[in-house]
Structure 1
Amino acid sequence: MNGPDLGRGVLHPGRAAGVVHLDRYGPAPGLARLVEFYWLVRWDRRGLPAHEQKVLAHPNVHLVFEAPRARVYGVDRSLFVRRLEGAGHVLGVKFRPGGFRPFTDRPVAGLADRSVPAAGIFGPAVDLLNEQVLSGAPEPAALVDAFLLARLPAPVADRQAELAAAMVERVTGSPDLRRVDELAVEFGVTVRQVQRLFAEYVGAAPKWVLRRARLHEAARRADRGADVDWAALAAELGYADQAHFTRDFTAAVGLSPARYAGGR
């Protein structure tokens, strides 16, 4: 892949790198247990056709500062598509798995495949902050730091949130994990407990997180630019056969693995 690293899940990243500019910022130390990073995306399509960017989302909740209002995006279990036209920028907060739960009074699964006005969770001040961020205020990440720190829940360790985050990290960082029962055994809990943790704190089922991690790896391999032995990759990712892998990939991306790789 040519160009900057846009992260796993961004489809056709070589093409996207010619359209968007991405910056990442670390959160203030007091937020590090809840926020993974801030991302700032800029684009300028003035005089150019609109660009549709497709993303295989991760199991994270995002607070996004965008026009016309700030919104909270739950885990998108389908294919996320953003149409970019004109010139603009968007700032997002990528919460760690489980990291958004302290800011809301209900399970994160209720946000799955949805976005809601952020004011419903953070109050009207979030829309005032949205105006500042979109107006080009200097150091917008610092403004968001101050906003979230002022609303930080009491620093009582939530062992369940930490456990959910550790499970997601294990799944997304280790392609050798195949099944939910394996995850349960490794962490010394039951399968039902894993399912409840993910519904409460992550916002997507553990089986979906396992499958999405495999598809992220498959897309990354396809984007490398070299020929891929799809049968071997299917076996490496734990699929029973290539046909099953192809069905999963096509359902998520909208193209077969071979067609996706050919469209780089």
Structure 2
Amino acid sequence: MNRAVNGLPKGVLHLAENDQKFSLVRYAPSVETQYFVQHYWIVRWDLRGQEPYKQTVIAHPNVNLVVEENGTRIYGVGRSTSVRIVKDHGWVVGIKFKPGGFYPFLGAPVSHLTDSTATIEEVFGIESGPLESFILSAPDDQSMVSRIEAFLAERLPEKDPNVSLVHELVMTFRDDRRVIRVEDAVRLTGMNKRTMQRLFDRYVGVSPKSVIKRYRIHEAAMRIDQGEVADWLDLSTELGYYDHSHFIRDFKSVVGMSPEEYRQK
């Protein structure tokens, strides 16, 4: 049985409002698939009798395989926010691969999927319809997760040591507030800058700079949504920025508006 994983869904903008529109449950992968998979997830919503809702997301540096009725696809990493219109009621189930974890399945640079999608047939050679029916007809969430994991477990590639390396680098970018620029990452890891950039193009799909920036903006947006921000200078300092103007530029470049405009909206 896959264990449920709790935690706030960083990257979903206007989280407090979104929390009333949908539910998200995440499940840890089994030992068999955990080398490649970060977690499995299920989103449910019920907006019957309500207006459709526009959900905006800042993508994590992960490829996702999303199973939904008549819409199953593999999503690469987006370089900016993405918007999904949620209406009526339904559910989707997905696999969130570790950063770098999808490359062994794809066998080509993951940057080919950046800002794009692929079908199940293009990558795994099977039609999506029967897979959708099998997974989405499961009687409960745990069964859906078990079915989608069984699908993946039957198709596991050889372990690529670069997957572990890339995942470790990305976690460093996420957790170490000293990493604001690629040069900071180079200094901390000792890896050549060009080598790091090539590695991320092949395994992640976006640049190290993009990954570093989006994690800081994820944190900032969540803090704003929770009403924890009193001063932009204090927030930028806590996130590791040397000056708050740099933080504001980064926020605006990803979200499309300044932090103050986001808070007011």
Q: Do they superpose with TM above 0.5?
A: yes
What is the match of residue 159 of structure 1?
161
Give how far 1:78 is off.
Answer: 0.8
What is the match of residue 82 of structure 2?
80
2:36 touches 2:163 (CA, 8 Å); kept in 1?
no
What is the match of residue 3 of structure 2?
none
What is the match of residue 145 of structure 1?
149
Q: Structure 2: give runs of 5+ residues left out of the alignment.
A: 1-5
Q: Structure 1: give runs of 5+ residues left out of the alignment.
A: none
Give how far 1:5 is off.
Answer: 4.5
What is the match of residue 52 of structure 1?
54
SS of the residue 1:31 aligns to: coil
Separation in 2, partners of 1:253, 1:183: 24
Separation in 1, partners of 2:252, 2:129: 38
What is the match of residue 219 of structure 1?
221
2:76 touches 2:117 (CA, 8 Å); kept in 1?
yes
Cα distance, 1:226–1:6 mapped onto 2, change above 3 Å: closer
2:67 touches 2:73 (CA, 8 Å); kept in 1?
yes
Q: What does 1:64-79 correspond to in 2, within 5 Å?
A: 64-79=66-81
What is the match of residue 188 of structure 2?
186
Separation in 1, partners of 2:84, 2:61: 18
1:69 touches 1:117 (CA, 8 Å); kept in 2?
no
Separation in 2, partners of 1:143, 1:84: 25
SS of the residue 1:93 aligns to: strand
SS of the residue 1:24 aligns to: strand
CA shift digits 1:185-223 (9 cap, x unpaired): 332320011001101111110000111111112112212
Number of residues paired by the alignment? 258
What is the match of residue 203 of structure 1?
205
The amino acid of 1:147's aligned partner reads F
Give how far 1:125 is off.
Answer: 4.7
User: Which piece of structure 1 moves more, 145-154 or 240-249?
Assistant: 240-249
Separation in 2, partners of 1:261, 1:85: 25
Q: What does 1:26-175 correspond to in 2, within 5 Å?
A: 26-138=28-140, 139-154=143-158, 157-175=159-177
Separation in 1, partners of 2:258, 2:99: 29
The amino acid of 2:223's aligned partner reads R
Name the TM-score, length of structure 2 as normaliser.
0.91
Separation in 2, partners of 1:254, 1:136: 39
Question: Percent same amino acid at aligned positions?
Answer: 41
2:15 touches 2:222 (CA, 8 Å); kept in 1?
no
Taking only aligned residues, the RMSD between alpha carbons, in angstroms, comes to 1.8
Name the TM-score, length of structure 1 as normaliser.
0.91
